[in-house]
Amino acid sequence: MTELILSQKQIETKVKIELLAKLFGVDPTWAAAIAMTESSLGKYQKSSTDCRGVFQMSSIAMKDLLFAMELVNDDLIDIVCGLSFLKLLMQRWKTYEEAPLHFCDPADRSFYLNRVKDYMSSFKNQII
């Protein structure tokens, strides 16, 4: 096989995949090869079957992953899914005040936002 020449974006995506794969206990080379095969390491790819992203995940695969999360009790999967959702909220709502309001029950918004602000303040002042 000839040497692969990757764009800067592809290299950045490959590095992210390799770092996260190590955290998940997945072979980084295998994960990057799957992503390259699926999307050429392109996050905006969309297939004719409506699969999307670097790994070309279908809605069925995403539902399966979320269901497996309950069975496997893998907190890394839970954390990555949660962080992905928080990133989505920030992209949509832009501020730390507005984004959490779309994460909780509408009846609890004021309480929830105050609690988040209090924890943020505590964590910023905490020395580990």
The pLDDT profile of the chain, 128 residues, written as one tens digit per residue, is: 778 999 999 999 999 999 989 988 889 999 999 999 999 999 888 888 888 889 898 888 888 877 777 766 667 777 787 788 888 889 999 998 888 888 788 888 899 999 999 998 988 888 76
| Token pair in block for residue 26 | 């997945």
Q: With the CA atoms of 94, 66, 51 and 54 taken in that order, what torsion angle do they form, in degrees rounded to the nearest 10?
A: 70
For 46, phi then psi, to 5°, come to: -140, 130
Total structural domains within the chain: 1
126 found inside a domain:
no
Question: Which residue range forms the structural domain that includes residue 21?
Answer: 1-57
Show the beta-strand stretches assigned E in 8-91: none
118 found inside a domain:
no
12 found inside a domain:
yes
The Cα–Cα gap between 6 and 14 comes to 9
50 found inside a domain:
yes
26 found inside a domain:
yes
Handedness of CA 26, 28, 34, 39 (dihedral sign): positive
pLDDT of residue 67: 78
| Token pair in block for residue 68 | 């497996």
71 found inside a domain:
no
**Beta partners for 52?**
46, 57
